Amino acid sequence: MDQEYFGPSSPEFQNMADALLVVEDKQLPVHKAILAASSPTFATLFTSCAATTTEDGRPTIPLDDSLHSVCATLRYLYHGCTKLKTTKLQSFDDAYLVITFAHKYNMRGLLEECEADLVGQAMAPNKFFGQPGTCVRWTLLAEKCEMSTFLAHCEQYMAQRTDEAFWSSPGEKAVQLSSTSLLRMLKASSYHNVHRHLAPLKKFVAWQQDEQQTCCSS
């Protein structure tokens, strides 16, 4: 398999790969030092009984993640390790693959770089977030992967700019927002004196809380 995630590195560097990740029946050569330095989870896996070894002694780690998500993350790690400045997370799908993988394997440095990248792009919110439904997806991702600074940008954008119709007829994605996140948006709407959708947002928060209480009591 073409190890395109190595980037423009020398063949000698690529030949020094001393471990294998097995994903969807494909073997991906990697360098233990790079992954272990990025992730304490991988550092443990390389020395645990979860790893088998090849004939030449390289540990082999089977992963249940998608090949696309693993290769996307390796591209970010190997292209200057965690430096994303020349390879921005320009789409939600790109970000989702890398961020959820990094969160799962406790790659705090990579997560922080991803968050800094996204916060920088969110400084032009109308261009970056676009439609309210897109902002909901970013909000869910930020909350799931504990990116508090970026989450605050998402919630502030929705609190100030999401129109009344969105909260009056919330889509499938909006229903997934947590009560905690919605309450922060409601507080931000009150703070910024955004009245045009305050009533629908209040109604939506109340509806979601009722739904959660019903689920807990059933």
Task: Look at residue 196 in the predicted model and tell me its pLDDT.
Answer: 55
Which helix (H) or strand (E) element contains residue 27? Answer: strand 26-30
pTM for the model: 0.78
From 134, 29, 89, select the one nearest 100 (Cα to Cα). Answer: 89
Determine the residue type at 180. T
Task: Look at residue 152 in the predicted model and tell me its pLDDT.
Answer: 92
In this structure, the number of other CB atoms found within 10 A of the CB of residue 91 comes to: 9
Residue 123 CA, distance from chain mean position: 18
Q: And the tokens for 123?
A: 């400084």
Show contacts of 103-108: CB within 8 Å, 24+ apart.
103/144, 103/145, 103/146, 104/41, 104/65, 105/39, 105/41, 105/42, 106/39, 106/40, 106/41, 107/38, 107/39, 107/73
Q: Residue 65 carries which DSSP code?
A: S
Are 176 and 144 a contacting pair, CB within 8 Å?
no
Q: How far apart are CA 173 and CA 30, in angstroms?
A: 37
Which residues partner with 63 through β-bridges?
A: 23
Q: How far apart are CA 29 and CA 22, in angstroms?
A: 9
One digit per residue, the tens of pLDDT, for the chain of length 218 reads 456 666 555 676 777 888 899 999 898 999 999 999 999 999 998 887 666 777 777 888 999 999 989 988 888 888 744 344 445 566 788 889 889 999 999 999 889 988 998 998 888 888 888 777 788 889 999 999 999 999 999 988 887 766 666 666 655 567 778 878 887 887 776 655 555 555 666 666 665 666 666 666 65
Mind listing the pLDDT tens digit for each residue in 7-59?
555 676 777 888 899 999 898 999 999 999 999 999 998 887 666 777 777 88
Report the mean per-residue pLDDT for the chain. Answer: 78
Task: Look at residue 81 in the predicted model and tell me its pLDDT.
Answer: 43
In this structure, the number of other CB atoms found within 10 A of the CB of residue 18 comes to: 15
